Amino acid sequence: MCKACIQIQPRVVEDIIAIGALFRPGPMEFIPLYARRKAGEVPTEYDHPLLEPILKETYGIMVYQEQVMQAAQILAGYTLGGADVLRRAMGKKKVEEMAKQRAIFVEGCAKKNSIPPEKANQLFDVLDKFAGYGFNKAHAACYGVITCQTAWLKARHPVEFMAALLSNELDNTDKIALFVAEARSMGISVLAPSVNESGSVFTVGEKSIRFGLSAIKNVGQAAVELIIAAREKDGPFRDLHDLCSRVESRGMNKKLVESLVKSGACDDFGPNRAALLTQIDGALAQASAKARDRDAGQASLLDLLGPMEPVTKKTNAQAGANGVPDFSLRERLGYEKELLGFYITGHPLDDYAIDLAAFQIHTVAQLKETPGD
């Protein structure tokens, strides 16, 4: 699509509408010709002079279904309803119906415009070729207007636009990975999720986007709402035990907390994610005991003092005081890819980035659009 835009050099919304209709299997082959005619490099030609008023805006190329219908009306005297029947017959390629419509078309051309049968059959073949993949202009116009609106937003408010785009694809990790790569190419930092900083969806910072908690695999919306409510009530969480204790027990389970830790959402409690994993069972057990005490009407002296002040981020040595070594880089990145859909703190090929830059490489997604076998 970028290549098509570069070729056609759109200047008005009508150009965008035409590109949207042309960029489909079939009409794609006419993009270079459309671009050359638009640029004045080759003359615009029409299969019949009567087609010029219809095809002038698209440089002699039938792009829209409406043009096929208008051509049938002007050349062969079809009614609007009859032209739609012709369009549908051409689209479905029904042999008997096509033979019937060809006879009507040839007779109409001779009767209305004195077009000889040979030329009329040639014109019918042209309409048939384009009707098979012609795009509805009203549909293309809607796409074109939205394209212009979103392009303006992306250019003028890039961080907000990309955050909204990401938030709209919370359940689609493939799309999230694609849009994160796009955001980074625009110079926007995508920050890891954080139980102390993230919202439910992707949120906007200063030239940055914070990963939303709801986009983490295995972390449901209900649990996210409970985490945010607890944080807003009593401030940032101090450690894993504080997180599990302050969030209602119905919102926390082992699989969910593991996903938070492995994805990096609990890095505020210490960068050693492996050590944090070993604390989960104890933190959940302590939270469960506190919940039972509250239900029984019991409270500790510390509870009466209210929430404690947040502590500073723990060092790696403190988080791993029990001697648990942290994950290897491969393991850490593997968990991030599994739970977030992409690598956020690094990439397995970072060490080879300079070497790879020397080659013309493509992502798997790009291969789908690359010519050749």
Q: Which is more confidently placed, 368 or 240? A: 240
Which of 22-26, 51-55, 323-327, 359-363 has the highest mean predicted lDDT (pLDDT)?
51-55
Which has more confidence, 154 or 28? Answer: 154
pLDDT value, residue 352:
65
Rounded to whole angstroms, how far apart are CA atoms 283 and 288?
9
CB 48 within 8 A of CB 125: no
What average pLDDT does this structure show over 306-332? Answer: 61
Q: Going edge to edge, which strands form the sheet with 189-191? A: 189-191, 208-210, 203-204
pLDDT band per the 50, 70, 90 thresholds, residue 322: low
More confident residue, 33 or 312: 33
State the burial class of residue 131 (Cβ atoms within 10 Å of its Cβ: 0-12, 13-18, 19+). buried
> For residue 294, which phi and psi values (nearest 5 degrees)?
-65, -40
| Longest Cα separation, the chain | 102
For 132, residues 6+ apart whose C-beta sits below 8 A from its C-beta are 26, 90, 91, 93
What pLDDT was estimated at residue 319?
40
Specify burial of residue 200 (Cβ count, 10 A radius: 0-12, 13-18, 19+): middle
Say if residue 321's pLDDT is above 70.
no
Residue with tokens 């794609």: 28
What is residue 170's predicted lDDT score, i.e. its pLDDT?
Answer: 84
Q: What residue spans define the domains of the chain? A: 2-138, 212-356
The confidence score (pLDDT) of residue 309 equals: 47
The answer, yes or no, to whether residue 69 has pLDDT greater than 60, is: yes
pLDDT tens-digit series, residues 214-230: 999 999 899 999 999 99
Q: CA geometry: angle at 189 spanning 184 and 193, to 5°?
A: 115
Quick check: 216 and 339 in contact, CB under 8 A? yes
Q: Looking at residue 79, what is its pLDDT? A: 93
Q: pLDDT band for 308, please (50, 70, 90 cuts).
A: very low
117 vs 106: CA distance, rounded Å: 6
How high is the pLDDT of residue 368? 64
Residue 349 has pLDDT above 90, yes or no: no
* Nearest residue to 108 via CA among 131, 86, 82, 78: 78
How far is 294 from 112, CA to CA, in rounded Å? 90
Residue 83 CA to residue 186 CA, distance in Å, equals: 47
Percent of the chain residues topping a pLDDT of 70: 87
Mean pLDDT of 24-30: 82
More confident residue, 321 or 142: 142
The confidence band for 160, taking pLDDT boundaries of 50, 70 and 90, is: very high
First to last CA, the chain: 20
Better-predicted residue by pLDDT, 171 or 280 = 280
Using DSSP, state whether 197 is helix, strand or coil: coil
Average pLDDT, whole number, for the chain? Answer: 86
Are the C-beta atoms of residues 241 and 287 closer than 8 Å to each other? Answer: yes
Joined tokens for residue 227:
């985490």
